[in-house]
A and B are shown apart, each in its own frame.
Chain A
Amino acid sequence: MDSHPRGMHDLGGEPAGEIDRAEHQNDFWEQRVDALMRALGTLDPPLVRTDELRRAIEGIGADAYDSMSYYERWIAAITEVLLEKGVISVNELSGKIAEIEKREAE
């Protein structure tokens, strides 16, 4: 069994440290990511399905996966799926990021 690849997310039965059971508030941007995912999922056909989100999260790469927070993984995965489908382009995305960075700097 151990010679077979195991997904980095597939941790059932493995030691994975303490679970933080404390209640915590999500930041506003995290709420927006959640809302965005729900909106993309309600279209027919959905632009991003839960299964596609999960698959993209699993493809982030172990180092990034471990260093990202929950909603950072979500937005990275949503971006990946939307780029794959041509819903947004790399140009549009980088243009928008530059625009926001400029606005934030002012």
Chain B
Amino acid sequence: MSARFAPGDRVRVREWFPPGHIRTPYYVRGKRGEIERICGRFNNPERLAYGRADDPKVLYRVRFAQTEVWGRAERPSDTIDIEIYEHWLEPDK
């Protein structure tokens, strides 16, 4: 499994709004986080949704600061983990 990112890498979710079935929540697009782990390689749900099990992608668990996602948090240290496919992530420069 050749993964583009490794645990600890800083990434940004693509600010991307394609049509179709998408499993990257709207609220996290464009936000910056850190790779928490590589979950494995799974068929891309964006293709599975239309009956095609032909597009394996690496899935990552990405950790975001709640302050980054919502602009505020009950405690500044609060985080949220979201599982996101590789094609939705870019390196955070």
Contact = CB atoms under 8 A, between A and B. Distances in A.
Given A1-B30, A4-B17, A5-B17, A49 B51 contact: yes
Contact of A45 (B20, B25, B28, B53): B53
Nearest to B17: A4
A51 B26 contact: no
A96 interface: no
Contacts of B69: 13
Contacts of A10: 22, 25-26
A51 B49 contact: yes
Contacts of B17: 4-5
Q: For chain B, give the interface size range.
A: 20 to 34
Interface in B4-53: 15, 17, 19-22, 25-30, 45, 48-51, 53
Interface string B53-93: 10000000000000001100000000000000000000000
A54 interface: yes
* A interface: dominant SS: loop
* B interface: dominant SS: loop
Contacts of B25: 10, 12
23 contacts: A1-B29, A5-B19, A6-B26, A10-B22, A10-B25, A10-B26, A12-B27, A12-B28, A13-B27, A45-B53, A49-B49, A49-B53, A51-B45, A51-B48, A51-B49, A52-B48, A52-B49, A52-B50, A52-B51, A54-B21, A55-B20, A55-B49, A85-B51
Interface of B: 15, 17, 19-22, 25-30, 45, 48-51, 53, 69-70
